[in-house]
Structure 1
Amino acid sequence: MQKRCEKVVHVLLFPSLTQSALANGADKSAVVTVGDVTLSRSDLIGAATSVAERIRGARRIAILAEPTAQTVVAVVGALIAGVVIVPVPPDTGTAERQHMLDDSGAQAWLGAAPDEPTLPVLPVRMFARSWHSHPEPHPDSAAFILYTSGTTGLPKGVPMTRRAIAAGLDALADAWAWTSDDVLVHGLPLFHVHGLILGLLGPLRVGGSVIHTVKPTPANYAAARGTLYFGVPTVWTRIAADADAARALSSARLLVSGSAPLPVPVFDTIEQLTGHQIVERYGMTETLITISTRADGERRPGWVGLPVAGVETRLRADDGTDVPHDGETIGELQIRGPMLSQGYLGRPEATAESWLDDGWFVTGDVAVIDAGGMHRIVGRSSIDLIKSGGYRIGAGEIETVLLGHPSVREVAVVGVPDDDLGQRIVAVVVGDDIDEALLIDLVATELSNHKRPREIRVVDELPRNAMGKVQKKLLL
């Protein structure tokens, strides 16, 4: 009976959830723990099916993605009902939130709602149960409309199909040897790819369990005792600074970092304290995760690995020609694969700029690829590719060198307009007792003279978004 129920959870996104299959005893192992609330498999499916009955027939519904068990039940209920989910960050401002609701066509809030909601609010009854059978939506129907971070204007909606999500999760299960035996631990937001698609639907897809710590603190991670841990670099930096918490993760099977570049010193410290080399990976809202180091492969600090199953990558120069895979030459990264979205919601011009006719997606990131196919992301072409004195310079390699100095805790390298050089390299640094001349000479010595910062600016903190990414445009 248990095996049959695990199969139902494993294929949650696709085949019919029949009443008899859902009713078979599923209380032997927890599937979702959020804070101090634990849901068994039957708890989750029963409560979510009750939600599905109440919202069946709706087209699109907004979920205020707070880190609660209610959010989990709302998401799974909408998936069962075939209603498109619009996850909304809890801390989104009024204007941006209203844009997301209007742009997506959301008809109501499901579960929690912001103060003074502009849409009807449908409650999620956590103790209600139903075993009614719902027909499975078509694999090519949208499951979510995810919103980009809005770095170039208002956030753009990205419809993501059930087929694309399944392809993405299955590719990661292969890359990370992710199975039903794994207990995933994370405390990431439930409104984006990392915390929601990977961090919630991933365990449901493979039939495993997830513990959401609500807050991703070192103490919470250490207490969870999982086999698989997800974190953004900020989380891993804090764990690296807490030796006892880090050592508690030694018994885990795999540690994974994403959503922003992981500083090499953090990679090294975590390895020293836990015995684990962190798995790094690369993805976007529009593509899910397309490149990753593997559980059974090389993990090179600062590199995000190989294309996952079904994914092709290529590098293009400014003139559209291919860039050699020599581990040094920078090119614009383009990707093709089954987990990609097919365009932006209601934005045909923006879609045409990023999705090419032959199926390739223009990421807007620049990268290098070595002869073995390993990828290193340099950064966004608009911000992290600096053109100074006729040279094309990646901000990331300069940041890596500076982070290697003990006085530097955080750094962001940007190119500012310069009448002589075109762009002048400026390093914005968080640290203690910063010696500007020493840091400039360090880069000139370890890299080359033309890559040295022309200016070091010391600040108390770097501006970051909810996923821990540095918002470099605010520095400019």
Structure 2
Amino acid sequence: MTRALLHALLDTTAADDDRAVTIDGMTLSRSELRERSAGFGAELLRLGPDQVVAVNAEPTPTTVIAVVGALLAGVPVVPVPPDAGHAEVAHIVADSGATVWVGPRRDGVDLAVAAPEDSVRTATVAKPVAPEQVAMILYTSGTTGAPKGVLLSRRGMAAGLDALAEAWQWTADDTVAHGLPLFHTHGLILGVLGSLHIGSRLVHTGKPTPERYAEAGATMYFGVPTVWTRVTRDERSAAALASARLLVSGSAPLPVPVFDRLRELTGQAPIERYGMTETMITLSTRADDERRPGWVGKPVAGAQTRIQADDGTPVPHDGESIGRLQVRGPMLFDGYLNRPEVTAASWTADGWFVTGDLAAIDADGFHRIVGRESVDLIKSGGYRIGAGEIETSLLARPEVTEVAVIGAPDDDLGQRIVAYVVTDSDTTDLADRLITHVAEDLSWHKRPREIRFVPALPRNAMGKVQKKALM
């Protein structure tokens, strides 16, 4: 049975923890956070019905108190990226119907400003909120148009967190550390609200540097592949993580060489998982099961998956055949705000959410994410090729620091394979050597037809490569 969202924070009978949350150099006890958040929630309710609070989601106690306070009061909360431009902020505020703003004033935001840190503390939490009520409106990255508001219910968020607690054996005895942004699922819902829901301590490191992770003394660490890549380049910091119980990687594929190096330096293989803003986490390797590089495990409790071919027929679970990934489960979103047509188009007639991702499933139920159908499926010379396996092959070369593979338009092949490579090595003859490597490692038709050396790959705040910017 799914527990009420933030149930551990709401449990006033449990012993208090004077170091429940540490963020931005400040530590809050569980009771202090509960009372300050409840006070802010009460203030929101006094403003009248139908409030929606937009929070400039900097990694600060103010952000945590504002988000938790809104959730306790049953007021939908809209996390806003603090580095978003004026146009994006204006779109999010207008589209969400926000009535209150928390954080420094932003140009173009004409809302009443609330200061959670000034709220009067109260031991009285507002009456229980219906589990089907919208808890949060998270905005997508907007790579295919204006950002869309994803409606996440209290029940859905709680179901997703409970499923992860079961898969990761996550308990109140854990301490979670991460330095991720607080306007995405990974950093905010999993890292912050997950800790408050389960009762574990949270240490937000400010920035996700190897040194700060090493100093956190946690049992669980959350990071994106960029973070783990930096950890593997700092052997002293990596060694300090050897005492941790779980190292969790997500938000983008973890390169196999980074997986292997992390296991070598820390003595344990990282946990990989898969999810979207719309779905929370639906797939994960488990704390008590196999951890296979390049694979994101099996469905978490309550989640189901299937992969289909272009004609809608099932794809064999042979670990190699690629199909369109579809998912369903209690942790999925309730739709896109103000976009009924887009919401309807995202679901199949028989109730499965169309992720837009390509995947393979093996006979044991392990999933391998190949990539986004829109940018990672390359149709070249009659072949259907996944960009991810070419990237993995190239990353096995010591000369390759980072790589992104795309399909560029080609009059003869339909699409030709192009690899954007970041390297510190001499590039003389390197392109030819990399092309030959892929041809020999995978197959001739999967070799890049072109290598382009670049100083860096375009990434978003969560470390995901923005391939649209390369096309």
**Category of TM-score, reference length = shorter chain:** over 0.9
Instruction: Please name the residue that 2:22 is paired with.
Output: 33
451-460 or 28-37, larger mean C-alpha shift: 28-37
**1:304 equivalenced with 2:296 (yes/no):** yes
Tell me whether 271-280 or 355-364 shows the greater mean CA deviation. 355-364
Separation of aligned partners in 2, 1:130 and 1:30: 19
- 1:16 touches 1:134 (CA, 8 Å); kept in 2? no
Aligned 8 A contact 1:310 1:338 in 2 = yes
Q: Compute the TM-score of the two structures, normalised by the length of structure 2.
A: 0.96
**1:12 CA displacement:** 4.8
Letter in 1 for 2:306: R
Match of 2:443 among 443, 448, 451: 448
Residue identity matched to 2:451: I
Contact 2:177 2:202 in 1 (8 A): yes
- Give matches, 1:259-274, under 5 Å: 259-274=251-266
What's the counterpart of residue 268 of structure 2? Answer: 276
- Does residue 371 of the first structure (1) align with residue 363 of the second (2)? yes
The AA in structure 1 aligned to 2:468 is K
CA contact (8 A) 1:14 1:136 kept: no
Q: 1:50 aligns with which of 23, 28, 39?
A: 39
The amino acid across from 1:166 in the alignment is: A
Query: 2:426 is matched with which residue: 404, 415, 433?
Result: 433
The equivalent residue for 2:175 is: 183
| 1:262-300 Cα distance to aligned partner (Å, 9 max, x none) | 011111111111001000000000000000000001111
Matched ranges for 1:216-235 at <5 A:
216-235=208-227
Question: 2 CA distance for matches of 1:212 and 1:426?
Answer: 38
Instruction: Write out aligned runs for 1:404-419 (5 A).
Output: 404-419=396-411
Corresponding residue for 1:348?
340
Choose from 375, 380, 400 the match for 2:372: 380
How much has 1:226 moved relative to structure 2?
Answer: 0.2
1:237-248 alignment runs, 5 A limit? 237-248=229-240
Query: Shift in Å at residue 348 of structure 1?
Result: 1.4
- Decide whether the 8 Å contact of 2:6 with 2:198 is kept in 1: no
Q: Partners of 2:104 and 2:223 in 1: how far apart?
A: 25
Gaps of 5+ in 1: 1-9
Length-normalised TM-score, structure 1: 0.95
Deviations 1:225-263 (A, max 9, x none): 100000000000000000000000000000000000001
Conserved 8 A contact 1:82-1:137: yes
Residue 200 of structure 2 corresponds to which residue in structure 1? 208
Q: For 1:372 and 1:323, how far apart are their aligned partners in 2?
A: 15
- Determine the C-alpha separation between the residues in 1 that align with 2:125 and 2:217: 35
SS in 1 for 2:155: helix
SS at 2:375's partner residue? coil
Report the alpha carbon displacement of residue 112 of structure 1 after superposing the two structures with TM: 3.9
- In 2, the alpha carbon distance for the partners of 1:183 and 1:317 equals 42
**Unaligned regions of 5+ residues in structure 2, if any?**
none
SS at match of 2:401: strand
In the alignment, the residues of structure 2 paired with residue 221 and residue 255 of structure 1 have an alpha-carbon distance, to the nearest angstrom, of 11
For residues 214 and 252 of structure 1, the distance between their equivalents in structure 2, rounded to whole angstroms, comes to 19
| Correspondence 1:75-114 to 2 at 5 A | 75-114=67-106
Distance 1:47 1:115 in 2: 28
CA RMSD of the aligned region, Å? 1.5
Aligned to 1:7: none
Q: Which amino acid aligns with 2:465?
A: V
The answer to whether the aligner puts 1:13 opposite 2:6 as a matched pair is: yes
Match status 1:421 vs 2:416: no
Which amino acid is 1:52 matched to? G
Deviation of residue 13 (structure 1)?
A: 3.5
Q: Report the Cα distance in structure 2 between the residues aligned to 1:444 and 1:167, rounded to whole angstroms.
A: 45
| SS of structure 2 residue aligned to 1:467 | coil
What is the letter of the counterpart of residue 367 of structure 2? H
Distance 1:206 1:11 in 2: 11
Structure 2 counterpart of 1:145, from 113, 116, 137: 137
- 1:194–1:62 Cα change, 3 Å: same
Within the alignment, does 1:331 sit opposite 2:350 as a pair? Answer: no
Contact 1:15/1:136, CA 8 A, preserved across alignment: no
- Quote how far apart the aligned CAs of 1:358 are: 2.1
Deviation, structure 1 residue 58: 4.5
